[in-house]
Each structure stands twice: as C-alpha cells, then as structure tokens.
C-alpha cells in the first residue's frame, strides 16, 4: 500500500466543462497547475465541487487520468470513488487505483437509510478489495447517512482506512472522529470538510482540510496550513476567517455552483456546473463580483 501523509489543504478540484457539458481537458490541466503553483498540498478529484455526483464512469476515468498525468507526482492525488452500492464503489476504486491515484476518498452510501453496521461492512468490503489508503467521507446533508464517531473508531482499526473527512459542519462530531480514530490508530488523520473550521480542526488534532474555497483562493487557503505548521497560529486564524465574505455568497445558490461561478468570474474558462445545478441569479453574480474585487484588493488569491 502507498504511504501517503493525509494532511494540508486539499482542493476538491472543479471539473471544467465546455458549453455542451463535455469535459474541458485543456482547462482541467490548467487548473491542476494553477493549484499546485499556489502551494496546495494535494488534489482531490470528484468531490462535491468536482461534480462527482453527476459524472459517468468514463468521464471520471478521463478526469482522473488527466489530473494524475498533469500532476506528475508533484502532490498526492485523491479520488472520490464512493457510490451508492458497494459493488460500484469497488469498481470505481479499482479504476482509480489503475489510473494512478494515491488515496481514495469514499463518501457514504446515499439515498437509502443505512445502519451503522451496514456502513461499517460497506467500508470493510471496499478496503479488502483495494490495496490503497482510504479516507472516509461524511457529508450527511447530501447523502442522508452519517458515520458515527464510534463507527469511525471501528473502521480506523482497518489497516488501509487511514483517515476521515467530516463535512457535517458539526465541530463536536469532528472532535469525536479525532478522538475515536486516534484511539484505534495514533496516526489516523481527520480532515475538515468545512472551510471555516480548518484552523479549529488543526488545533484539535486534525491534519488539514478538503477546501472548496481553494478553487477560488488556492494560495490563501494553503497558507492556513503552512502558517499553522510554522507556529503562526493567530495569523492562520485570521487567514481562515478571511474567507467568510466569500462563503456568505453561498446563500445565492448551491455552494459548488457559487465556487465554479467565482472561478469563471476570475477569468478561467471552466464553464457552468452541469444542469440542472447551474443557476445563479443576477443578484448573486453581482454579489460574487463585489466580494472577489474586495478580496483581491486585500491580497487574497
């Protein structure tokens, strides 16, 4: 199994699309280099911001192979391979392994309600099928299923389940993951899936964050982790708080739609999110423009 340090600021890289909603491979490569040049610590394909929920299997393979090739080992590449069924999750995980991904991030099954034992069994079966590091992915608002801290503790004892991303927005839940995970494995890593909680996760023993806002502000977001590691905790906190104005724009639409719209407004031809999740009102666009201009004047990039 690959040994990969699960740490730092990891953008769930957006998937650029052409007007016909096909994958814009050229711009995807550009975004890979933009992110790495800005100092991010890894890249994550098929997160919510990467629209993994709406890409088919061939598109996912194309995106992942493109990112792995363009990254060329400069930073680790994570692949989101979770599906509703255990069978398809294993298929996607094997695809990602063959494509050269370094880490799998596996979201919980969705739509149908799952018991904690079903969630545990699901992850165990996937872990048995691939010889790769796995990061659990908890985002109950989107999937309808949450991984309990106790289940994280059980799964942390599985050799290749090495971490968890918590996007619940519930800091107490994240603390539960850190505690339960480290009891089973002192090296178990917990990543914040909520951008505003990254500094607090680091202070509590977490190792970083999978940060959607890094698509807009890769250098700013990366500096949160770098400053923290340097012992400049107060500076890191101030930087983390600086994204609040942009996150306030999420009220105008689906957060990943707002993020992709913002990247487009910065001048990158990333296209819109795939329909139907692609509408932002004129009021929202105007608000995003104002925030981008203000933040640029403040040195955010």
Q: What is the mean pLDDT of the chain?
A: 97
Q: In which order are the strands placed within the sheet that holds 189-192?
A: 8-10, 208-210, 189-192, 161-166, 134-138, 103-107, 77-80, 43-45
- Between CA 246 and CA 249, with CA 247 as vertex, the angle to 5 degrees is 75
pLDDT per residue as tens digits for the range 182-197:
999 999 999 999 999 9
137 counts as catalytic = yes
Q: 165 an active-site residue?
A: yes
86-99 and 57-71 helices, crossing angle to 10°: 30
pLDDT digit string (tens) for 74-126? 999 999 999 999 999 999 999 999 999 999 999 999 999 999 999 999 999 99
pLDDT of residue 204 exceeding 90: yes
- Catalytic one among 78, 120, 123, 137? 137
pLDDT surpassing 90 at residue 129: yes
**Helices and strands in the chain: count of H runs, count of E runs:** 13, 8
Q: What is the rounded CA–CA span in Å between residue 203 and residue 186? A: 16
Computed from CA positions of residues 111, 207, 228, 47, in that sequence, does the dihedral angle turn out positive or negative?
A: negative
Instruction: Measure Cα distances from 238 to 86, 109, 192, 219, 300 in Å.
Output: 42, 36, 17, 14, 12
Predicted pLDDT of residue 229: 98
Q: State the pLDDT at residue 201.
A: 98
Does residue 218 contact residue 40 with C-beta atoms inside 8 Å?
yes
Query: What is the bridge-based pairing of β-strands 134-138 and 103-107?
Result: parallel
Give residue-wise pLDDT tens across range 243-282. Answer: 999 999 999 999 999 999 999 999 999 999 999 999 999 9
The average pLDDT across 155-176 equals 97
pLDDT of residue 1: 83
Q: What pLDDT is attached to residue 2?
A: 83
Catalytic residue among 78, 120, 123, 165: 165
Sign of CA dihedral 134, 77, 224, 221: negative
d(CA 176, CA 181): 8
Q: Count of alpha carbons within 13 Å of 265, Cβ hemisphere only?
A: 21
């Amino acid at each position: 199994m690959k040994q990969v340090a699960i740490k730092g600021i990891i953008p769930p890289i957006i998937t650029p699309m052409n007007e016909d909603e096909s994958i814009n491979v050229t711009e995807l490569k550009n975004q890979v280099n933009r992110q790495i040049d800005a100092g991010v610590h890894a890249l994550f394909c098929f997160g919510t911001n990467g629209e993994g929920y709406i890409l088919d299997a061939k598109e996912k393979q194309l995106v992942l192979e493109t990112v792995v090739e363009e990254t060329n080992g400069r930073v680790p590449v994570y692949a989101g391979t979770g599906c509703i069924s255990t069978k398809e999750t294993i298929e996607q995980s094997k695809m990602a392994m063959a494509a050269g991904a370094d880490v799998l991030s596996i979201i919980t099954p969705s739509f149908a309600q799952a018991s904690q034992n079903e969630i545990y069994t699901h992850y165990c079966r996937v872990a048995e099928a691939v010889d790769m590091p796995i990061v659990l992915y908890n985002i109950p608002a989107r999937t309808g299923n949450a991984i309990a801290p106790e289940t994280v503790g059980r799964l942390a004892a599985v050799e290749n389940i090495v971490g968890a991303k918590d996007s619940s927005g519930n800091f107490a839940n994240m603390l539960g993951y850190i505690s339960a995970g480290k009891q089973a494995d002192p090296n178990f890593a917990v990543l914040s899936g909520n951008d505003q909680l990254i500094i607090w996760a680091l202070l509590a023993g977490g190792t970083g964050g999978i940060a959607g806002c890094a698509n807009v502000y890769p250098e700013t977001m990366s500096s949160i982790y770098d400053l923290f590691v340097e012992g400049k905790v107060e500076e890191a906190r101030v930087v983390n708080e600086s994204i609040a104005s942009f996150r306030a724009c999420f009220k105008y639409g689906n957060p990943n739609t707002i993020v992709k719209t913002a990247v487009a407004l910065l001048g990158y031809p990333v296209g819109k999110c795939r329909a139907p999740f692609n509408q932002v009102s004129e009021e929202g666009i105007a608000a995003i423009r104002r925030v981008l201009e203000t933040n640029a004047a403040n040195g955010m990039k």
